[in-house]
């Protein structure tokens, strides 16, 4: 294989309750990456794990000089964990991947080849349905991508994964993004550059349980769509316009009926109208509310995550182990 030996790859791995996967993943990555000749560093982000993940990371960081970790002060969510890891990475390319071995390490070789051929971003998307997902996830996942593609200006393949290679020049730009509830899969599409998607078949989780619950997924889905588009606002304003036009057309009918003495006291029609417009107003307001919430959170300018500990400090763009 003709890999460029003097380049360095940073692999960023968000980890939440992955105690039994860490050592195995490191071993798999070593087997995959050593033959390429690339220097590489593994940056694990412990995203508020409640199990032994941090200890596992400390042990491995003692064993391997290219294993680094940051411990976040609590569970901030995967995208913030990714942000924390990317902030530290300073390789010629950064690869992000899950800690549970659902992202096959072997695919990294293909990513590196495409990168060497001039692509700035190599992202992956799931081939077909997720064979390891829960039943309802087949429907919700499809709905999410349909909704996102319909309502926003980015187009994403079904099952786009947080398993991707990003060239250093793109990483530099990503580090500048200071967005609340950052959604990397969308940001990557939005960023442009020369990018290519490759399909992958997810493996089974090595050990442990997936940590995203249904309410968390719904919040993520709404947040992501809102982050990428103001189109829901335009849609509700169109609905509002449609019904206010109808109402205006209705008024002459009401007036004429009144003056001709045809007006009857219609309880059912009044209640139905009040209920309908009451519901519609709440819907419109809630859509606006979601956007106001985004502005509110963004306007606080809080840090997106807090680091509790790490085995590394960065001095002059170099890692110093502590
Ligand atoms: N993860 C994280 N923070 C969280 C939830 C998950 O860092 O709050 C990590 C997790 O350790 C794994 C990756 O994100 O490396 C994907 O999570 P998971 O396997 O639970 O989700 P799924 O496979 O359903 O995408
Ligand atoms: Mg997983």
Q: Per residue in 201-217, pLDDT tens? A: 988 888 888 777 788 88
Looking at the domain assignment, is residue 1 inside a domain? no
Do 290 and 307 lie in one domain? The reply is no
**Residues 174 and 71 reside in one and the same domain:** yes
- Tell which atom from ligand 1 comes closest to the C-alpha of 98: 15
Kindly state whether residues 39 and 96 are assigned to the same domain: yes
Query: Do 208 and 285 sit in the same domain of this protein?
Result: no
Question: 9-18, 50-59, 147-156: lowest mean pLDDT where?
Answer: 147-156
Give the span between the Cα atoms of 230 and 223, in whole angstroms.
Answer: 12
Q: Same structural domain for residues 61 and 86? A: yes
Looking at the 3D structure of the chain, how many domains does it have? 2
CB of residue 137 inside a 6 A radius of ligand 1:
no
pLDDT averaged over every residue in the chain: 89
**Which residue range forms the structural domain that includes residue 260?**
231-300
162 lines ligand 1 (CB under 6 A): no
| pLDDT (tens digit per residue) in 136-154 | 777 888 888 888 888 888 8
Protein residues with C-beta less than 5 angstroms from the ion ligand 2: 100, 102, 210
Give 210 or 106, the one with higher predicted confidence.
106
The DSSP string of 38-55 is: -EEEEEEEE-S-SSSHHH
217 within ligand 1 shell (Cβ under 6 A): no
Q: Among all chains, which residue has been given the structure tokens 């849609």?
A: 235
Residue 44 lies in a domain: yes
Name the token pair of 229.
């588009």
CA distance 176 to 179: 9
Residue closest to 299 by CA, chosen among 203, 121, 196, 178: 178
Q: How far apart are CA 251 and CA 322, in angstroms?
A: 75
In a domain, 222, yes or no: no
Cα separation of 10 and 90, whole Å?
7
**Is residue 28 located within the same domain as residue 74?**
yes
For residue 119, being part of any structural domain is answered with yes
Phi then psi for 68, rounded to 5 degrees?
-125, 155
Query: Percent of the chain having pLDDT more than 70?
Result: 98
Mean pLDDT of 206-230: 83
Residue 74: DSSP 8-state: S
Ligand 1 atom nearest residue 209's Cα = 20
pLDDT tens, residue by residue, 232-264: 888 888 888 888 888 888 888 888 888 887 777
Q: Could you tell me the CA-to-CA distances from 300 to 2, 158, 296 in Å, in that order?
A: 49, 33, 7
Q: Ligand 1: which atom is nearest the Cα of residue 14?
A: 7
Ligand 1 within 6 A of CB of 100 = yes
Q: Are residues 56 and 112 located together in one domain of the fold?
A: yes
């Amino acid at each position: 294989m003709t890999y460029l030996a003097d380049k360095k790859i940073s692999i960023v791995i968000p980890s939440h309750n992955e105690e039994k996967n860490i050592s195995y993943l490191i071993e798999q990555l070593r087997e995959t990456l050593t033959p390429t000749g690339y220097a590489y560093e593994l940056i694990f982000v412990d995203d508020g794990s409640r199990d032994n993940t941090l200890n596992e990371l400390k042990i491995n960081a003692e064993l391997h000089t290219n294993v680094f970790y940051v411990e976040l002060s609590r569970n901030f969510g995967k995208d913030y964990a990714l942000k924390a890891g990317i902030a530290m990475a300073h390789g010629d390319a950064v690869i992000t991947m899950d800690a549970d071995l659902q992202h096959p390490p072997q695919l990294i070789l293909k990513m590196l080849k495409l990168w060497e051929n001039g692509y700035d971003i190599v992202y992956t998307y799931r081939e077909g349905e997720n064979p390891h997902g829960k039943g309802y996830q087949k429907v919700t996942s499809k709905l999410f991508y349909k909704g996102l593609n319909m309502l926003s200006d980015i187009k994403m393949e079904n099952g786009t994964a947080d398993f991707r290679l990003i060239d250093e020049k793109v990483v530099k730009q990503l580090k500048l993004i200071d967005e609340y509830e950052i959604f990397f899969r969308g940001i990557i599409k939005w960023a442009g550059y020369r990018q290519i998607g490759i399909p992958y078949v997810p493996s089974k989780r090595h050990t442990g349980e997936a940590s995203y619950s249904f309410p968390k997924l719904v919040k993520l889905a709404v947040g992501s769509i809102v982050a990428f588009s103001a189109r829901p606002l335009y849609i509700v304003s169109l609905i509002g316009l449609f019904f206010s036009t109808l109402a205006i057309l209705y008024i002459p009918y009401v007036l004429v009926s009144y003056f001709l003495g045809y007006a009857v006291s219609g309880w059912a029609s009044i209640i139905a109208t009040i209920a309908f417009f009451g519901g519609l107003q709440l819907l419109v307001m809630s859509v606006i509310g979601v956007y106001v919430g985004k502005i509110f959170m963004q306007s606080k300018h809080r840090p997106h995550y807090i680091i509790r500990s790490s085995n590394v400090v960065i001095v002059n763009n170099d890692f110093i182990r502590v």
